[in-house]
Amino acid sequence: MKIYLANGLFNAADRAFNEVLYKALVEAGHDVYAPQFNLAINDKTKSATSIPIYEGDTEKLKWCDAMVAVLDGQDLGVASEVGWIAGYNEVFSAAEAAAMKYGDAAPKKKRIIGLWTDNRDASKTYAEAKNFDMKDNGLAECQYPYLNLYTVGCIKKYGTVVDSIEKVLKELA
């Protein structure tokens, strides 16, 4: 399967995690594109410009069968790439309906797997987080993580969110 690996690539931790995830995906037999390894457009020691980055990465978004989107850093680029895939799938939903009507082969949608490894208890509700005693503990002490729900909706409509590399591999199998 052709995989687009979306994650931040600006700090050592993200780059190191990308290498681990990339290796796991390749060892599982997938053909993987990770923007951080495309030095023609993403060599951050040089002055990168927006249009070549957009065109280069969009070419690979069109190419892929699925996306693995790392959600830990809440990177704006990852959110944009997730939105691109979701929009692509929305267009193909209409094409799929037309294909079914006329008996043609339906176009293939792209699956999105969100990887969120945050180890805080993400199952708490907003009300539980809001009831945290802020007057005694101070502002910004709530320990419940948050992801943008529009981005999560894009992912869950066309895939799932998992919490480990092993679960990513299982979803892609």
Please determine, for residue 63, whether its predicted confidence score (pLDDT) is greater than 70: yes
At residue 44's C-alpha, the angle toward residues 71 and 51, to 5°, is 80
Measured CA distances, 24 to 32, 35, 48, 112, 165 (Å): 10, 16, 28, 17, 8
Please tell me whether residue 122 adopts helix, strand or coil conformation. Answer: coil
pTM (2 d.p.): 0.84
| The pLDDT value given to residue 42 | 74
Do 38 and 49 meet the contact criterion of CB atoms below 8 Å apart? Answer: no
Q: Sign of the C-alpha dihedral, residues 161, 155, 125, 13?
A: positive
Query: Residue 159's beta-bridge partner residues?
Result: 112
* Nearest in space to 48 (alpha carbons), one of 5, 16, 6, 9: 9
Is 130 a domain residue? no
Q: Is 48 helix (H, G, I), strand (E, B) or coil?
A: coil
**Would you say residue 33 lies in a domain?**
yes
Q: Which of 9-13, 37-41, 51-55 has the lowest mean pLDDT?
A: 37-41
Residue 29 lies in a domain: yes
Task: Give me the mean pLDDT over the 105-127 stretch.
Answer: 76
The reply to whether 138 falls in a domain is: no
The confidence score (pLDDT) of residue 137 equals 59
pLDDT of residue 108: 80
Structurally, how many domains does the chain consist of?
1
What tokens were used for 144? 């419940």
Give the CATH number, domain containing residue 27: 3.40.50.450
Give domain status of residue 165, yes or no. yes
pLDDT band with cut points at 50, 70 and 90 for residue 45: confident
Min mean pLDDT across 38-52, 100-114, 125-139 is at 125-139
Identify whether the C-beta of residue 30 lies closer than 8 Å to the C-beta of residue 56: no
Structural domain containing residue 53? 2-121+149-172
Looking at the domain assignment, is residue 137 inside a domain? no
Residues 20-24 have a mean pLDDT of 98
Name which of 33-42, 70-79, 98-107, 146-155 the model is least confident about. 98-107
Q: What confidence score (pLDDT) does residue 128 get?
A: 60
Q: How far is CA 54 from CA 42, 62, 81, 133, in A?
A: 11, 12, 10, 45
Indicate the average pLDDT of the chain. 85
Structure tokens at 121: 């208890």
**Residue 155 corresponds to which tokens in the numbers above?**
């992912």
* CB half-sphere exposure, 131, CA atoms < 13 A: 5
Q: Over 90: is that where the pLDDT of 134 sits?
A: no
pLDDT value at residue 124 = 57
Q: What number of other Cβ atoms are within 10 A of residue 127's Cβ?
A: 7
Segment 16-41 mean pLDDT: 95
What percent of the chain shows pLDDT beyond 90?
57
Q: Which is nearest to 71 in space by CA: 166, 172, 162?
A: 162
